C-alpha cells in the first residue's frame, strides 16, 4: 500500500494512463482507416451494382434484369456478391439466395443478415433493397465475412495493445517507484539516525550526479554546518562550565574561611546564602561537564552485567530517609533483572529520577521504583504523584536547562533529565514520559542484549 500511495507511482500511473490513451487513439485510427475503409468500399460496391442493375432494368425490363442477375451469379462462383429478385410476396425469381432472408436495418438503412454458404456455414452479409414496378423486390448485397474478420482482428489487437500498454506501464511504474523509494528510504533512514542523536551520519551518494546525488550533497553540507554549530554551542557551554568551576570553588573556599573568621556575627546568614548559591552553581557546572563527557565519549563505558533490582534497592535505601522527612512513601518493587552497561552511570541516572520524583511529590504521596521485563526490552520505571508534565512539554523536558514554568521557583538547574537522557542514549535505551494519573511515570527501556552495541 505504501508503494501504491507513493508520488512516484502516481506519476508513473499518470504517464501510463496518457500512454494507454495514446495507444487507444492510435489503434482507433488504424481501425478507422482499415476496417472503416473496407466497409465503405463494400458499401460503394453495392451502390455501384444497384446503379448498374437499375440501368439494365430501364433498358431491358424485368426479363432483361433477371437475365443479367443470372449472368452475374454464374460469373461469381464464390458467391461474394448476393442477388435476389423476388415477387411481391418475396418468392425468389432469380439470384443466389433460396429464400428471402430475415433482414435487420441499421441507422443508415443498410440491411444486415446471415446466409448459408456452400459449406453450410453461416456468413454475414450486407445489402440494399430496390423496389421495382409491380411490387417486385430486388436485394443486392455482398458477403462481408472478411470485413467482420478484419474488424475482429483489429479489435483483438486493440484489446491486446491496450492491455499490454497498461501492464507494461504498471510494471514500469512499480520498478521506477521501487527504485525511487529505495533512494528516498536511504535519506529517510539517515534522517532517523540523525534525529536519534547520531549527528555524524551522512546521506550516502551513488556518484551518478543525478538530482538525488545533488540533494544528498546539499543535505550533507547542511548537516556538516549544523553539527559544527551544535558542537560550537556545546563547547562554549562546556568551556564556560570548566573555566568558571575553578574560580567558583576558590570563592566558596574563601567564603567558608570568612564564615569561620566571623563566627556567629550578623553577616553569617548572608555568607551562608552565598555559599549555598556557590554550591548550586558548582552543581550546575559539574552536571554540564558530566553530560558533555558522556555525550562526547570522553568517559569509557564499562560493559558489565548490572543487576537492576539491586540498583533500585540501593537508590531507595539512599533516599529513604529524605522521603520520610518529607512524608513521602518510597516503594521499591523490582524483580530480578539485568542489563549490560555502566553501573555508575545507570545509578546516577536513576538517582536523578528519584530525586526529581521526591522533589515534586506532595506530602503523603507515593514514589515507586520498579522494573518490568519482556521479550523485547527491559524497563526501569520511576513514578510519582506530583503535578506531572503536560503532553506538549514531554518531548522537550530532557533538553539542557529546560524547565516548566511551574517549577521555576524550585531548586535545580534543569540538567537532571538531560543527564538521564545522555546516559540513556549511551546505552541505546529509550527514555519516555507517561501520565501516572496522577503524577508522572518515567521509563528507561533497554533493548535486548543481542541488539546492544555496549
Closest CA to 54 of 163, 129, 126, 110: 129
Indicate the pTM of the whole model.
0.45
Please name the fold of domain 304-451. Heat Shock Protein 90 (3.30.565)
The residue behind cell 548572608 is: 270
Q: In sequence order, which ranges of 196-210 are alpha helices (DSSP H)? A: none
Spans of all domains in the chain: 2-152, 231-295, 304-451
Architecture of domain 231-295: Orthogonal Bundle (1.10)
pLDDT of residue 369: 92
Helix, strand or coil for residue 387? Answer: coil
Is the Cβ–Cβ distance between 350 and 368 less than 8 Å?
A: no
Query: Residue 445, SS3?
Result: strand
Phi, psi of 77 (to 5 degrees): -65, -25
Tell me the β-bridge partners of 140: 83, 128
DSSP three-state, residue 289: helix
Q: Which residues pair with 340 in a beta bridge?
A: 305
Selection from 251, 250, 255 nearest residue 270 by Cα: 255
Architecture of domain 2-152: 2-Layer Sandwich (3.30)
Is residue 443 within 8 A of residue 425, CB to CB? The reply is no
What string of H, E and C letters represents the secondary structure of 61-89?
HHHHHHHHHHHHHHCCCCCCEEEEEECCC
Hey, what long-range contacts does 11-16 have (CB within 8 A, 24 or more apart)?
12/169, 12/172, 12/173, 12/174, 12/176, 12/177, 13/169, 13/170, 13/173, 15/169, 15/173, 16/165, 16/166, 16/169, 16/170, 16/172, 16/173
Report DSSP state, residue 209: -
Name the DSSP letter for residue 429: P
Spatial separation of the C-alpha atoms in residues 48 and 41, rounded to whole Å: 10
Q: From first to last of its 454 residues, what are the pLDDT tens digits of the chain?
A: 565 666 777 777 787 788 778 877 887 888 788 877 888 888 888 888 888 888 888 888 888 888 888 888 888 777 788 888 888 888 888 888 888 888 888 877 788 888 877 677 888 888 988 888 778 888 898 888 888 888 888 888 888 877 887 788 778 777 877 787 788 888 888 888 777 667 778 888 877 777 778 888 888 888 888 877 767 666 666 666 666 667 777 777 877 777 777 665 545 667 777 777 776 666 666 655 665 665 555 455 567 788 888 988 988 888 898 899 999 999 888 888 888 888 888 888 888 888 888 888 889 889 999 888 877 788 899 998 888 887 777 767 666 655 564 454 455 555 667 778 877 877 788 888 888 778 889 888 988 764 554 4
Which residues are paired to 165 by β-bridges? none
Of 66, 142, 156, 89, which Cα lies nearest the Cα of 111?
A: 142
Cell (9 digits) for 424 = 540513556
Distance CA 293, CA 8 (A): 45
**Rg of the chain's alpha carbons, rounded to an integer?**
47
Amino acid at each position: 500500500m505504501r508503494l501504491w500511495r507513493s508520488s512516484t507511482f502516481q506519476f508513473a500511473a499518470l504517464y501510463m494512463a496518457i500512454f494507454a490513451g495514446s495507444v487507444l487513439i492510435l489503434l482507433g485510427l488504424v481501425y478507422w482507416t482499415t476496417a472503416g475503409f473496407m466497409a465503405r468500399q463494400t458499401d460503394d460496391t453495392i451502390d455501384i451494382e444497384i446503379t448498374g442493375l437499375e440501368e439494365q432494368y430501364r433498358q431491358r425490363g424485368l426479363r432483361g434484369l433477371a437475365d443479367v442477375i443470372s449472368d452475374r451469379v454464374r460469373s461469381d462462383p464464390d458467391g461474394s456478391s448476393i442477388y435476389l429478385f423476388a415477387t411481391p410476396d418475396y418468392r425468389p425469381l432469380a439470384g443466389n439466395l433460396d429464400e428471402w432472408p430475415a433482414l435487420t436495418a441499421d441507422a443508415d438503412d443498410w440491411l444486415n443478415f446471415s446466409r448459408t454458404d456452400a459449406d453450410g456455414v453461416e456468413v454475414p452479409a450486407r445489402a440494399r433493397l430496390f423496389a421495382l414496378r409491380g411490387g417486385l423486390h430486388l436485394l443486392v448485397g455482398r458477403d462481408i465475412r472478411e470485413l467482420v474478420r478484419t474488424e475482429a482482428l483489429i479489435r483483438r489487437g486493440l484489446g491486446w495493445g491496450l492491455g499490454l500498454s497498461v501492464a507494461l506501464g504498471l510494471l514500469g511504474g512499480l520498478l521506477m517507484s521501487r527504485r525511487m523509494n529505495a533512494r528516498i528510504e536511504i535519506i529517510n533512514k539517515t534522517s532517523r539516525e540523525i534525529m536519534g542523536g547520531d549527528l555524524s551520519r551522512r546521506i550516502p551518494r551513488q556518484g551518478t550526479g543525478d538530482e538525488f546525488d545533488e540533494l544528498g550533497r546539499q543535505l550533507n553540507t547542511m548537516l556538516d554546518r549544523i553539527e559544527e554549530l551544535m558542537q560550537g554551542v556545546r563547547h562554549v557551554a562546556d568551556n564556560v562550565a570548566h573555566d568558571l568551576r575553578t574560580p567558583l570553588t576558590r570563592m566558596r573556599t574563601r567564603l567558608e574561611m570568612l564564615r569561620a573568621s566571623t563566627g556567629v556575627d550578623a553577616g553569617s546568614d548572608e555568607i551562608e546564602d552565598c555559599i549555598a548559591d556557590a554550591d548550586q552553581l558548582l552543581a550546575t557546572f559539574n552536571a554540564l561537564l558530566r553530560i558533555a563527557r558522556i555525550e562526547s565519549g570522553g568517559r569509557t563505558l564499562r560493559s558489565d552485567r548490572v543487576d537492576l533490582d539491586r540498583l533500585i534497592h540501593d537508590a531507595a535505601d539512599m533516599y529513604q530517609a529524605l522521603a520520610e522527612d518529607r512524608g513521602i512513601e518510597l516503594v521499591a518493587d523490582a524483580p530480578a533483572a539485568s542489563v549490560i552497561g555502566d553501573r555508575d552511570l545507570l545509578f546516577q541516572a536513576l538517582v536523578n529520577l528519584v530525586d526529581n520524583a521526591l522533589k515534586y511529590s506532595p506530602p503523603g504521596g507515593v514514589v515507586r521504583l520498579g522494573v518490568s521485563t519482556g521479550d523485547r526490552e527491559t524497563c526501569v520505571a520511576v513514578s510519582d504523584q506530583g503535578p506531572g508534565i503536560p503532553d506538549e512539554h514531554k518531548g522537550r523536558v530532557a533538553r539542557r536547562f529546560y524547565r516548566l514554568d511551574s517549577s521555576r521557583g524550585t531548586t535545580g538547574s534543569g540538567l537532571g533529565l538531560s543527564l538521564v537522557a545522555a546516559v540513556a542514549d549511551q546505552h541505546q535505551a529509550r527514555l519516555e514520559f507517561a501520565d501516572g494519573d496522577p503524577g508522572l511515570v518515567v521509563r528507561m527501556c533497554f533493548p535486548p542484549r543481542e541488539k546492544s552495541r555496549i
